[in-house]
C-alpha cells in the first residue's frame, strides 16, 4: 500500500479527485472505458466536486456504488442522493453514467444478484472494476462490511445484503469484488480514525478494513499529528 499524508481534508479530497481522473484517463487509453465504484461520506462529496472540474473522460465512465442503505429514493440516508446532486450540479447528463444499487426493490436478494449481473455487463466476468473508492469508519468498517456482520464471510457472490447497522440494512460489494479491483483508493480524514489507519496500513485482519487487498491500494489520509 502506498500512503500519502496531506495536511487538510480539502487537500485529501483534491488529491483523490486528481488520482481518479488520472486512473480514468489511463483506463480509457488501455481499454476504452473506465469503471469505478464510489463510497459515501463527507470528504468524498468534496472530492466529487473537484472531480467534476477535472479532466475526466465522463462519456466513457461508468459509476457504480460500493454500498447503499436500504432507504427510499431521495432519502438523505442514501449515498445516491448526494452523488446525483453533485453530478447534476455540473451536468445532468452525467446521471446517465450512474448505476444505482436497487435498494427499493421488493426482493432485495434478487436485486443484489441483479446488481452483480450489471457489474459483469460493464466490468467483465468475473467483474473487475478499474477503481474502487473506500472510506474507513471509526469501528474499522469499510463499504458496509461492519464488525460482526455475516456479510464479512460472503465469498460466493459480488454483492450482498447486511444486517441492521446504524438503523438501516445495507447492500454492499463483498470482499471478492473489492479485492479484484485494479486500483483501491482509500480516502480517510479525521483524527479519531488514527488508530484504525494504523491497523489498515498493517493489514490487521481483526477489523474489516484489514481484509481488503493492499497490493494495488493507495491511501490518502489527513495528517493528524
Q: How many CB atoms are located within 10 Å of the residue 56 CB?
A: 19
Q: Compute the distance between CA of residue 93 and CA of residue 156 in angstroms, rounded to an integer.
A: 35
The model's pTM is 0.95
In this structure, the strands spanning 2-6 and 159-161 are unpaired
Which residue reads 489511463 in cell numbers?
Answer: 26
Q: How far is CA 139 from the centre of its chain?
A: 17
What does the block give as the cell for 181? 479491483
- Answer yes or no: are the C-beta atoms of 143 and 173 closer than 8 Å: yes
- Answer yes or no: are the C-beta atoms of 151 and 106 closer than 8 Å: no
Q: Which long-range contacts (CB under 8 A, 24 or more apart) does 158-167 make?
A: 158/116, 158/119, 158/126, 158/127, 159/101, 159/112, 159/113, 159/115, 159/116, 159/119, 160/112, 161/108, 161/109, 161/112, 165/141
Going residue by residue through the chain (225 aa), what tens digit of pLDDT does each one get? 999 999 999 999 999 999 999 999 999 999 999 999 999 878 888 888 899 888 999 999 999 999 999 999 999 999 999 888 888 777 788 888 999 999 999 999 999 999 999 999 999 999 999 999 999 999 999 999 999 999 999 999 999 999 999 999 999 999 999 999 999 999 999 999 999 999 999 999 999 999 999 899 999 999 976
Backbone φ, ψ for residue 218 (5° rounding): -130, 125
Q: What are the chain's domains?
A: 2-222 (3.40.50.1360)
Q: Compute the distance between CA of residue 30 and CA of residue 28 in angstroms, rounded to an integer.
A: 5
Please give the DSSP secondary-structure letter assigned to residue 145: B
Amino acid at each position: 500500500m502506498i500512503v500519502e499524508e496531506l495536511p487538510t481534508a480539502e487537500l485529501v479530497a483534491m488529491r483523490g479527485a486528481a488520482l481518479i481522473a488520472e486512473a480514468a484517463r489511463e483506463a480509457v487509453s488501455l481499454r476504452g472505458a473506465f469503471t469505478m465504484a464510489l463510497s459515501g461520506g463527507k470528504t468524498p462529496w468534496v472530492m466529487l466536486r473537484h472531480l467534476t472540474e477535472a479532466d475526466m473522460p465522463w462519456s466513457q465512465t461508468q459509476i457504480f456504488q460500493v454500498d447503499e442503505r436500504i432507504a427510499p429514493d431521495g432519502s438523505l440516508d442514501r449515498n445516491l442522493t448526494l452523488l446525483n446532486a453533485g453530478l447534476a450540479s455540473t451536468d445532468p447528463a452525467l446521471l446517465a453514467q450512474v448505476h444505482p444499487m436497487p435498494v427499493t426493490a421488493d426482493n432485495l436478494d434478487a436485486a443484489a444478484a441483479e446488481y452483480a449481473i450489471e457489474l459483469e455487463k460493464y466490468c467483465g466476468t468475473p467483474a473487475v472494476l478499474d477503481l474502487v473508492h473506500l472510506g474507513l469508519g471509526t469501528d474499522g468498517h469499510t463499504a458496509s462490511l461492519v464488525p460482526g456482520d455475516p456479510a464479512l464471510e460472503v465469498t460466493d457472490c459480488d454483492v450482498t445484503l447486511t444486517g441492521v447497522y446504524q438503523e438501516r440494512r445495507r447492500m454492499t460489494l463483498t470482499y471478492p469484488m473489492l479485492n479484484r479491483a485494479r486500483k483501491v483508493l482509500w480516502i480517510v480524514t479525521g483524527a479519531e480514525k488514527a488508530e484504525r489507519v494504523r491497523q489498515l496500513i498493517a493489514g490487521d485482519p481483526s477489523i474489516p478494513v484489514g481484509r481488503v487487498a493492499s497490493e494495488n491500494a493507495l491511501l490518502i489520509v489527513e495528517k493528524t499529528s
